[in-house]
A and B are shown apart, each in its own frame.
Chain A
Amino acid sequence: EAQVTQNPRYLITVTGKKLTVTCSQNMNHEYMSWYRQDPGLGLRQIYYSMNVEVTDKGDVPEGYKVSRKEKRNFPLILESPSPNQTSLYFCASSFFPGPDPYEQYFGPGTRLTVT
């Protein structure tokens, strides 16, 4: 089954404790990205990657890091989480944009609470 998986699905942590949210897709997609969803703000892109070892900032990258060492994985790293990073996080993947933007497949979401 084609899917995007994220782990963990729920996480409560404390300020400053490094954490990683994993994202994996089994569709051989080149493009992967992370979004955060906040009430009243919709979803905003954090980082994206167009292929292995190619990453770039989205609209809200501060406080986050990513890496793309393998095509299927795109982990999101919070080196020193703060309460304003409490949010619902989505990973998404798709084929590399040619002339058209392809449909994006979203993971199930990770609800993160930083106290």
Chain B
Amino acid sequence: AQKVTQAQTEISVVEKEDVTLDCVYETRDTTYYLFWYKQPPSGELVFLIRRNSFDEQNEISGRYSWNFQKSTSSFNFTITASQVVDSAVYFCALSEAKNGGATNKLIFGTGTLLAVQP
């Protein structure tokens, strides 16, 4: 069965520190997709990134970067020089596959609450 584990329940850092949020996934599929969403205190879900299983290149977007390693089934998210506005719950998610095809169902991890102190 597919599963996403975010072992870090809460992380607290001081502004300008770098922070890495861990995500480990389980799947038997060879084709799958991984996602990160941000949930700020206002409650909405904000899409950050989607990655497919064939693309192991790391990605950088401003202060955000993602490290995808199939060998360890991990898709970690790093925020460089954190800011107070980064305070949020971050969810990692895996798209479920069924009968060999991708579906739009997302399997979410339990989320990591990041608190960035000024």
Q: Do A and B bind each other?
A: yes
Partner of B101 from the list A40, A41, A88, A97 (CB cut-off 8 Å) is A97
Give the tally of cross-chain contacts (CB within 8 A).
58
| CA gap between A48 and B52 in the complex, in Å | 22
Using C-beta atoms within 8 Å of the partner chain, give the interface range for chain A: 20 to 34
Within A19-70, which residues are at the interface with B (CB < 8 Å)?
Answer: 31, 33, 35, 40-45, 48, 58
Within A76-115, which residues are at the interface with B (CB < 8 Å)?
Answer: 88, 90, 94, 96-97, 99-106, 108-109, 111
Partner of A102 from the list B44, B91, B104, B108 (CB cut-off 8 Å) is B104
Q: Annotate B87-108 by CB proximity to A: 1 below 8 A, 0 otherwise.
A: 0000101010000011111101
User: Judging by beta carbons under 8 Å apart, are A43 and B105 in contact?
Assistant: no
Within B13-67, which residues are at the interface with A (CB < 8 Å)?
Answer: 33, 37, 43-45, 47, 50, 52
17 contacts between A and B (CB under 8 A): A42-B91, A42-B108, A42-B109, A42-B110, A43-B91, A45-B106, A58-B105, A94-B104, A97-B101, A99-B102, A101-B95, A101-B102, A101-B103, A103-B50, A104-B104, A108-B43, A108-B44
Residues of A within 8 A of B (CB): 31, 33, 35, 40-45, 48, 58, 88, 90, 94, 96-97, 99-106, 108-109, 111
